[in-house]
Structure 1
């Protein structure tokens, strides 16, 4: 992996995957990149969950069809994980970014988005009611603590040009380096 300040954004191409654990900043980065590159930002949570619900999942076949149609587009920045769909996504991607941060920072961001910024965040599900859910607290603080290494391995095996930001400071440096 090459450090964020050492790899020009242009090296990542026109189909960029953004991976990382919940509340690491993937959606915000995807929106900033999409604006800079004049490409669509695709938020996989918006495909996986039904709008105007309390985060009710879509049927798997419907989610997969939405995902597969999106990756066939010529240009995109796609954020989200959904490991079961990564093989086809990585087959179309031209670059990858891994965004991680400390689990307590991610928990703080979750609290902020559910208690304060309920509908203004990047990648928000239309009409969804963000609320504090103990399942998400467990997901952020316990379940995803080792996911960064898993995603780094997946990206490394892909052979794609890639950038990793493992701290909020590194992510801020990426924003500055790429003028996002």
Structure 2
């Protein structure tokens, strides 16, 4: 990671991209607390509360996301590509996270089996281990961070790229996040 941008340079509408279990939601909550702005977890908008990650109808999800990005200030984590251009157009700063896929897979098992509350969880906490998610984390999403990085680099937004959990922890220290 290069020298850390001052947090103020990212503004008050920050998007966080990265593969599953890279730490997006945890970072989003810490940033939102520090900035005193709402946190928006796209997973919570995309999935129906009190279910084991059942998606909402697409139109409903899109309406919820458009309502969220219309706000004056927010930290928003998630990737969902359908409306990413609208998100980037409203954002004042961007962060892209990445990490080793095996470490992310370990975090998936830990959060699903042992964390009763975690940032970004659905209301009702009915999470379970799913083969489709294991495949997604270990195989299918391995190169997604490079795609997110390219999307952000195509904008004029102030940006931060972290390629490991160590770099994310450095952000926490540099920005005084709790």
State yes or no: 1:156 paired with 2:153: yes
Q: Which range moved further: 135-144 or 125-134?
A: 125-134
Stretches of structure 2 lacking an aligned partner (at least 5 in a row): none
Runs of 4+ in 1 over 2 A off after TM superposition: none
Preserved CA contact (<8 Å) 1:52 1:128: yes
Match of 1:133 among 130, 134, 142: 130
Match of 2:167 in 1: 170
Count of residues in correspondence between the two structures: 177
TM-score by length of 2: 0.97
Preserved CA contact (<8 Å) 1:113 1:130: no
Instruction: For 1:146 and 1:100, locate their aligned partners in 2 and report how far apart those are by CA, in whole Å.
Output: 9
Corresponding residue SS for 1:130 = coil
Match of 2:15 in 1: 17
Match of 1:42 among 40, 44, 57: 40
Instruction: For 1:114 and 1:148, locate their aligned partners in 2 and report how far apart those are by CA, in whole Å.
Output: 22
Preserved CA contact (<8 Å) 2:45 2:65: yes
Stretches of structure 1 lacking an aligned partner (at least 5 in a row): none
Please report the RMSD computed on the Cα atoms of aligned residues, expressed in angstroms: 0.9
TM-score by length of 1: 0.96
1:6: Cα distance to partner?
A: 3.0
1:128: Cα distance to partner?
A: 3.5
Match of 1:88 among 86, 102, 107: 86
Instruction: For 2:132 and 2:168, locate their aligned partners in 1 and report how far apart those are by CA, in whole Å.
Output: 27
Describe the superposition over 1:114-134 as per-residue Cα deviations: whole angstroms up to 9, x where unpaired: 1111x3100110014111100
Corresponding residue SS for 1:24 = coil
1:168: Cα distance to partner?
A: 1.0
